[in-house]
Amino acid sequence: MLKVAKFGGSSMADAEQYKKVRAIIESDDDRKVIVVSAAGKRYPDDHKLTDLLYLCHAHLTYGVSAGPVFDMVKDRYLSIRDTLGISLDLESDFEKLYQKMQKGISQDELVSRGEYFSAKLLAAYLGYEFIDSANWVRFNYDGTVDQTVSYQLLREMAAGKRAVIPGFYGTMEDGKIRLMDRGGSDITGAYVAAALNADIYENWTDVSGILMADPRIVKDAKTIARVTYSELRELSYIGAQVLHEATIFPVREKNIPVNIRNTNDPENPGTLIRDNFEGADPDDASLITGIAGKKGFITFSITRSGMASESGTLRKILMVFEKYNVPIHYILNGIDCATLVVRASSVENCRYLIQADLNRDVEPDHIHVSDNIAIIAIVGRKMASRSGSSGKIFQALGEQNINVRMISQGPEELNIMIGVKEKDFNITIDSLYHKFVG
């Protein structure tokens, strides 16, 4: 039996957390391969080491002394080492890094050192081997990971061993270090689990699993005990940040279950994620699985009388967005009106060009652009078979005087999506939660 356990930033934040991590690992002999993040926040106003390292690089770029920020990073790791009495020469590593910074270091390489030092320290603390992700995570030029090559390399290095592996980075073919997206250690953990055919991928964080809503918005949100890969994909894509949205692909391919657990409450079973739970008796009768959302959208509503009976108009609209390389998140069709939802950041430099092209190519009656839109989704496998979900949504939002800008039900009926103004984001999630969950 092999369990791959990934510990996130909050689990690696200080010496006290390292003790909890060691106790968790030592309590189960199957937890043989460990993946870690850089040290995270110890308290709400604290800094994540990853952020400090980005800041350090910004200092170098603008020619401001990076010394004080660098020392903050170094001190965090030295203090963990000294408090735990780990014998490991980190000073010479830090000295070499500082020298390299003076000569010019890429942002990705510098930032990756957060996970590198975390993993080295934990490996020494546990007496496990350290396996550097620079030696096995291979990126393709397009930024995807070459799974075949990477898995093969890792199998050769890790087979039958107890090891600690840093998350978040790998290398390009030319040996240069490259980072994944923010939160990417979750993905490294999934690659490790898939490469080694683990029996389970445990993801240890600071909440007892996936909650039905972001705990920073809904104070009393309940844990979702079981969730399918598809539901998790929907929840994380739409904004539930507990697990990086790309985490499920490598584990789903190999049908490896994921268990999200709390380092600060290790007895709690957390959330189990699998392909399906057929045959299992659902222990909660709740209609929905969860609610999540993201801010930062903009909508273009294009109205043209007669559009509903024309062919080709939608294609012309889409071609304009394609020309400017703008991905479309959702499209809603009304009679003679199409609404396209895109990330505001993707049209930062071209929104007026898009409007001009639409006017020329589509000759609409008018185009209405709404800024500061948040998209919120309610996800749930049982929603499809029940009527009245949309009614409940309108009732909840009506009671709070929230103006619904759009509403749409996904084709697989796993979710209902609504658009509201960003200022209504928290209140929308909170009121929907209490309407559906109680």
Cα(247)–Cα(180) distance, integer angstroms: 12
- Single out the segment in contact with Mg ion by CB under 5 A; choices: 183-191, 266-274, 297-305, 415-423: 183-191
Task: Please report how close the Cβ of residue 7 comes to ligand ADP at its closest, in angstroms.
Answer: 7
Would you say 24 and 154 are in contact if contact means Cβ atoms under 8 Å apart? Answer: no
Under rule CB under 6 A, residue 189 binds ligand ASP: no
Cα(164)–Cα(158) distance, integer angstroms: 10
Task: Please report how close the Cβ of residue 1 comes to ligand ADP at its closest, in angstroms.
Answer: 24
Question: Could you tell me where the DSSP H helices lie in 62-90?
Answer: 67-84
Considering beta carbons, is residue 259 or 415 the nearer one to ligand ASP?
259
Would you say 84 and 22 are in contact if contact means Cβ atoms under 8 Å apart? Answer: no
Minimal CA–CA distance to 429: which of 273, 220, 283, 257?
Answer: 220
Considering beta carbons, is residue 14 or 357 the nearer one to ligand ASP?
14
- Single out the segment in contact with ligand ADP by CB under 6 A; choices: 115-123, 209-217, 342-350, 411-419: 209-217
- Binding string to Mg ion for residues 3 to 32, with x set by CB under 5 A, is what? -----x------------------------
Would you say 361 and 355 are in contact if contact means Cβ atoms under 8 Å apart? Answer: no
Q: How many residues in the shown chain lie near ligand ASP by CB under 6 A?
A: 14
Cα(25)–Cα(22) distance, integer angstroms: 5
Q: Which of 131, 158, 166, 184 binds ligand ASP (CB under 6 A)?
A: 184
- Residue 174 gets which letter from DSSP? T
Under rule CB under 5 A, residue 40 binds Mg ion: no
Would you say 246 and 51 are in contact if contact means Cβ atoms under 8 Å apart? Answer: no
| φ, ψ dihedrals at 334, nearest 5° | -110, -175
Under rule CB under 6 A, residue 320 binds ligand ASP: no
Cα(125)–Cα(142) distance, integer angstroms: 37
Cα(436)–Cα(151) distance, integer angstroms: 43
Q: Which of 40, 183, 364, 419 binds Mg ion (CB under 5 A)?
A: 183
Give the CB-nearest residue to Mg ion.
183
- Binding string to ligand ADP for residues 228 to 247, with x set by CB under 6 A, is what? ------------xxx-----
Stretch (H or E) spanning 359:
helix 351-362
Which tokens is 420 given? 């509201």
User: Which residues have CB under 8 Å from 410's CB, separation 6+?
Assistant: 234, 416, 417
Cα(114)–Cα(39) distance, integer angstroms: 7
Measured between alpha carbons, how far is residue 277 from residues 225, 229, 231, 283 in Å?
A: 11, 11, 12, 11
Considering beta carbons, is residue 66 or 420 the nearer one to ligand ADP?
420
Q: Which of 214, 231, 245, 424 binds ligand ADP (CB under 6 A)?
A: 214
- Residues β-bridged to residue 274: 228
Which listed option, ligand ADP, ligand ASP, Mg ion, none, makes contact with residue 437 (CB within 5 to 8 Å by class)?
none
Considering beta carbons, is residue 238 or 354 the nearer one to ligand ADP?
238
- Single out the segment in contact with ligand ASP by CB under 6 A; choices: 179-187, 196-204, 294-302, 388-396: 179-187
Considering beta carbons, is residue 206 or 245 the nearer one to ligand ADP?
206
- Single out the segment in contact with ligand ASP by CB under 6 A; choices: 176-184, 298-306, 314-322, 423-431: 176-184
Would you say 290 and 228 are in contact if contact means Cβ atoms under 8 Å apart? Answer: no
Under rule CB under 6 A, residue 219 binds ligand ADP: no
Under rule CB under 6 A, residue 168 binds ligand ASP: yes
Which residues are near ligand ASP by CB under 6 A? 8-9, 37-38, 48, 50, 114, 167-168, 182-186
Which residues of the chain form contacts with ligand ADP (CB under 6 A)?
A: 8-10, 37, 40, 183, 205-207, 210-211, 213-216, 240-242, 290, 292
Please report, as ranges, the residues that interact with Mg ion according to CB under 5 A: 8, 183
